[in-house]
Amino acid sequence: MRIVFLGTADFAVPSLLATADHHDVTAVITQPEKAGSRGRAAPRPVADAARARGLNLWQPQRLREPETVARVLALEPDALVVAAYGQMVPEVLLNGAHHGGINVHASLLPRWRGASPVAAAILAGDAETGVSIMEMDAGLDTGPVYVRRPVPIADDATTPALTSTLAGIGAGALLDVLSAVERGEATAEPQSDADATYAPRLTREDGRIDWVTHSGRDVDRRVRALQPWPAATAPVAGMTVQVLTGAPVDTVDGQPGSLAGTAGESIIVAAREGGYRIDSLKPPGSRAMSPAAFLRGRRIPADTDR
């Protein structure tokens, strides 16, 4: 089939490569370049993969620009394949492809529609998530679903690791759906809007840990879910630091936010319920380090509550 592929993030790369291996990808559309940290360009994994394959790469500012719409329609695509693109696809493009738009989404729809489904599943403590291949409509992840592939969420799952797993599973499921569509054998079942939940785009505020209102298990989910953005930050010994790794502790003595003990180079901070063992952290403008090294630099004993 003639495919126009739309994607930007790492999650989309396996789907792009799998599609290009089995179909005619006439164009790859991804988000335009933008500045990242320290003046470097922000990562554009799909753009890099498309260039490496010698595919026709477009990076329009807005997909719904008339010039871009006209260029896509001129290719007369059999289908649009969309994965982690970052812009809504206008109906004129969905209607202009013979088989419409086919989306690779990192959740078991209708649970966790929206921009951050993997992080949302970890934050909620879900036992499983998965990938859905969906027939696109004008809504936000509201179209009927061709197939769902469930994946258990491990107790130590992080958003980057789980996203990588889901990306590979999604690529395989996408190929199955594209083959069924090409044979005229694909069927998609409507979603239940009553069962829908939403995962909005993450903000810096989402990463802020409050020891008074969050339990140790809440903190653990934030640390694992909010990598690499916006990252989990928490006040420790009078300074707000980025918490990189650790684990929840069920039984802890002390007021929320106090340093309740040590475990080797790690420290235990009391929370609303239980506590959290911080194994590594990153102070502002500094490198990652052990909590014990951080406290030595601040000349604060690990068993104080300051």
Provide the b/e sequence for 134-144 (b: ≥16 CB within 10 Å): bbbbeeebbbe
Question: Is there a single domain that holds both residue 147 and residue 161?
Answer: yes
User: For the chain, what is the domain count?
Assistant: 2
Task: With respect to residue 88, please indicate whether it lies within any of the assigned structural domains.
Answer: yes
Residue 306 pLDDT? 40
Residue 120 pLDDT? 98
Residue 123 pLDDT? 98
Task: With respect to residue 144, please indicate whether it lies within any of the assigned structural domains.
Answer: yes
Residue 36 pLDDT? 60
Q: What is the pTM of this model?
A: 0.93
CATH code for position 128: 3.40.50.170
Question: Is there a single domain that holds both residue 57 and residue 98?
Answer: yes
Question: Is there a single domain that holds both residue 178 and residue 274?
Answer: no
Question: Is there a single domain that holds both residue 50 and residue 165?
Answer: yes
Q: With CA atoms as reference, report the closest residue to 259 among 289, 208, 304, 221.
A: 304
Residue 177 token pair:
């759906």
Residue 305 pLDDT? 45
CATH code for position 263: 3.10.25.10
Residue 163 token pair:
């996203």
Task: With respect to residue 277, please indicate whether it lies within any of the assigned structural domains.
Answer: yes
Task: With respect to residue 305, please indicate whether it lies within any of the assigned structural domains.
Answer: no
Match 């599943």 to its residue by tokens: 121
Question: Is there a single domain that holds both residue 12 and residue 129?
Answer: yes
Last residue of a domain, one of 199, 222, 251: 199
Last residue of a domain, one of 199, 217, 245: 199
Task: With respect to residue 15, please indicate whether it lies within any of the assigned structural domains.
Answer: yes
Question: Is there a single domain that holds both residue 139 and residue 218?
Answer: no
- Please answer whether residues 7 and 84 qualify as being in contact, where contact means their C-beta atoms are separated by less than 8 angstroms: yes
Last residue of a domain, one of 159, 174, 199: 199
Residue 167, class by beta-carbon neighbours within 10 Å (0-12 exposed, 13-18 middle, 19+ buried)?
Answer: buried
Task: Return the half-sphere exposure (C-beta side, CA atoms, 13 A cut-off) of residue 286.
Answer: 17
Question: Is there a single domain that holds both residue 192 and residue 66?
Answer: yes
What are the φ/ψ torsions at residue 84 (nearest 5 degrees)? 50, 50
Task: With respect to residue 75, please indicate whether it lies within any of the assigned structural domains.
Answer: yes
Task: With respect to residue 303, please indicate whether it lies within any of the assigned structural domains.
Answer: no
In DSSP terms, 41 is beta-bridged to 35
Residue 283 pLDDT? 96
Residues of the chain predicted below pLDDT 50: 303-306
Question: Is there a single domain that holds both residue 133 and residue 213?
Answer: no
Question: Is there a single domain that holds both residue 220 and residue 144?
Answer: no
Domain hosting 51: range is 2-199
Question: Is there a single domain that holds both residue 53 and residue 176?
Answer: yes
- Other CB atoms closer than 10 Å to residue 301's CB: what's the count? 12
- Please spell the DSSP secondary structure of 91-136, one letter per residue: HHHHHHSTT-EEEEESSSTTTTEES-HHHHHHHTT-SEEEEEEEE-
Query: Distance between CA 111 and CA 194 in Å, rounded?
Result: 10
Question: Is there a single domain that holds both residue 136 and residue 115?
Answer: yes
Question: Is there a single domain that holds both residue 152 and residue 239?
Answer: no
Task: With respect to residue 166, please indicate whether it lies within any of the assigned structural domains.
Answer: yes
